[in-house]
């Protein structure tokens, strides 16, 4: 199988990840925040090591890292925990439903939500952010890498803008993390960063987290056992406990640490270089096929994601043919990004999405190009 659906989840995990999960299940680890016996303390120590690995990768303090079971939960915790109906929030068509739907829930309670348009290249330049900010805007909620086209928002400029205007930044790094370096954190404003473990950080499903820069106050979204303040009626509002009700996924986050350490050892720049070579090769091949329509800016330095269609064929027909006839895995449809499809005019047709991992090579890209070429003639 040629797996070109990394944006959904990474299929091939480094062997170190599999070994770390196995170790987590090997009978050595107790519950990290329940008990003071040796297996429990060993587990607690392991959680601290994972927190440190995450903080090293994102260049933040371990005290700013909370574990969640995926990016969706982290985004819900950030949006529903930090915002109120009194806020005014700006977002872009890149937003995934994991960000949009919690925003809509707050909008239904009175919060104002502004959605800026894309420019004619399918991008969101900083000028548009400035144009669509209002005097009473309090936050920007941003997915800086479209999971449909791979196009990226100017994150450094947006960070600067939030800093200057004292805006809260809620970031969805589900697609960004692991595919390119983090922007320099020196100028970070108050920021809540959601990330997922199972995509390009090469960790297991059921892992992810929320990073809280600037000690943004959060209301708990889920309450329950925290291992501390057991006689209080309310869940602690201190971070990270406010996000970590119940037992963490210890074998999962041990695997996440192994994935992130593999990434840091391999080198984030090397990974990014490989991904952009694959993307360029794929786009160049697609440009030689009549009838193929590519979406987005097609810029070389975008993320490792490409969306296309062949003529008026429904995207699902192409994706199914790739799977059944060529053993190539892609994803068809809306990719949980409805505003992007409204902007691209693909609400009915959807798009066929190809997304690349460090484990793909030139031969696989060439095979996919020839498969699309053959399908385009049928």
Ligand X SMILES: Cc1ncc(COP(=O)(O)O)c(C=O)c1O
The secondary structure element, H or E, covering residue 38 is helix 38-58
Q: Residue from 72, 276, 309, 357 that binds ligand X (CB under 6 A)?
A: 72
Q: Which residues have C-beta within 8 Å of that of residue 324, sequence separation ≥ 6?
A: none
Q: How far is the CB of 61 from ligand X (least distance, A)?
A: 23
Question: Which residue, 246 or 311, has its beta carbon nearer to ligand X?
Answer: 246
Q: Residue from 91, 138, 149, 175 that binds ligand X (CB under 6 A)?
A: 175
- Please report, for residues 147, 178, 199, 262, the alpha-carbon distance to residue 265 in angstroms, rounded to integers and kept in the order given: 26, 12, 18, 5
Question: Using the rule CB under 6 A, is 309 a contact of ligand X?
Answer: no
Work out the burial of residue 101: count CB atoms within 10 Å of its CB; fewer than 13 is exposed, 13-18 middle, 19 or more buried. Answer: middle
Question: Which residue, 33 or 174, has its beta carbon nearer to ligand X?
Answer: 174
What is the Cα 37 distance to its own chain's centre?
A: 36
The window from 70-78, 180-188, 211-219, 220-228 that contacts ligand X (CB under 6 A) reads: 70-78
Question: Which residue, 4 or 292, has its beta carbon nearer to ligand X?
Answer: 4
The 8-class DSSP code of residue 311 comes to T
| DSSP reduced 3-state for 342 | helix
Q: Residue from 51, 96, 190, 353 that binds ligand X (CB under 6 A)?
A: 96
Q: How far is the CB of 121 from ligand X (least distance, A)?
A: 20
Within 195-224, the residues that bind ligand X by CB under 6 A are 196, 208
Question: Using the rule CB under 6 A, is 331 a contact of ligand X?
Answer: no
Question: Using the rule CB under 6 A, is 10 a contact of ligand X?
Answer: no
Q: Residue from 33, 76, 92, 174 that binds ligand X (CB under 6 A)?
A: 174
Question: Using the rule CB under 6 A, is 272 a contact of ligand X?
Answer: no
Q: HSE-up of 235 (CA within 13 Å, CB side)?
A: 18
The 8-class DSSP code of residue 93 comes to T
The window from 58-66, 169-177, 181-189, 317-325 that contacts ligand X (CB under 6 A) reads: 169-177
The window from 23-31, 69-77, 121-129, 233-241 that contacts ligand X (CB under 6 A) reads: 69-77
Work out the burial of residue 132: count CB atoms within 10 Å of its CB; fewer than 13 is exposed, 13-18 middle, 19 or more buried. Answer: middle
What is the Cα 51 distance to its own chain's centre?
A: 18
How many residues sit in the footprint of ligand X (CB under 6 A)?
A: 14
Give yes or no for a contact between 178 and 199, defined as CB atoms under 8 angstroms apart. Answer: yes
Question: What residues line the site for ligand X (CB under 6 A)?
Answer: 7, 70-72, 96, 98, 143, 147, 172, 174-175, 196, 208, 336
């Amino acid at each position: 199988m040629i797996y070109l659906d990394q944006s959904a989840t990474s299929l091939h995990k480094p062997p170190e990840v599999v070994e770390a999960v196995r170790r987590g299940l090997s009978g050595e680890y107790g519950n990290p925040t329940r008990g003071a016996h040796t297996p429990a303390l060993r587990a607690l120590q392991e959680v601290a090591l994972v927190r440190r690995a995450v903080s090293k990768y994102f260049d933040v303090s371990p005290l700013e890292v909370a574990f969640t079971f995926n990016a969706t939960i982290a985004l819900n915790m950030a949006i529903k925990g930090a915002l109120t109906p009194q806020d005014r929030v700006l977002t872009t068509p890149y937003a995934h439903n994991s960000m949009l739907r919690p925003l809509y829930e707050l909008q239904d309670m009175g919060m104002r939500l502004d959605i800026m348009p894309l420019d004619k290249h399918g991008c969101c330049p900083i000028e548009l952010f400035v144009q669509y900010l209002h005097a009473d805007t309090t936050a920007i909620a941003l997915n800086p890498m479209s999971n449909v086209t791979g196009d990226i928002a100017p994150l450094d400029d947006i960070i600067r803008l939030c800093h200057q205007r004292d805006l809260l930044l809620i970031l969805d790094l589900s697609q960004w993390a692991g595919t390119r370096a983090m922007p320099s954190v020196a100028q970070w404003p108050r920021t809540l960063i959601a990330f997922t473990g199972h995509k390009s950080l090469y960790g297991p499903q059921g892992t992810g987290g929320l990073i809280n820069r600037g000690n943004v106050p959060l209301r708990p979204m889920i309450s329950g056992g925290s291992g501390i303040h057991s006689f209080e009626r309310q869940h602690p509002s201190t971070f990270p406990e406010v996000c970590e009700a119940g037992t963490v996924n210890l074998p999962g986050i041990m695997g996440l640490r192994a994935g992130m350490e593999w990434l840091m050892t391999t080198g984030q720049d090397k990974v990014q270089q490989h991904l952009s070579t694959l993307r360029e090769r794929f786009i160049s091949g697609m440009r030689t096929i009549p009838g193929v329509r590519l979406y987005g800016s097609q810029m070389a330095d975008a993320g490792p994601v490409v969306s296309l269609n062949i003529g008026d064929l429904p995207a699902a027909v192409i994706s199914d043919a790739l799977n059944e006839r060529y053993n190539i895995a892609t994803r068809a449809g809306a990719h949980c990004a409805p505003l992007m499809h409204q902007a691209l005019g693909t609400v009915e047709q959807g798009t066929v999405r190809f997304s690349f991992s460090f484990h793909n090579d030139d031969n696989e890209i060439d095979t996919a190009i020839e498969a699309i070429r053959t399908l385009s003639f049928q």
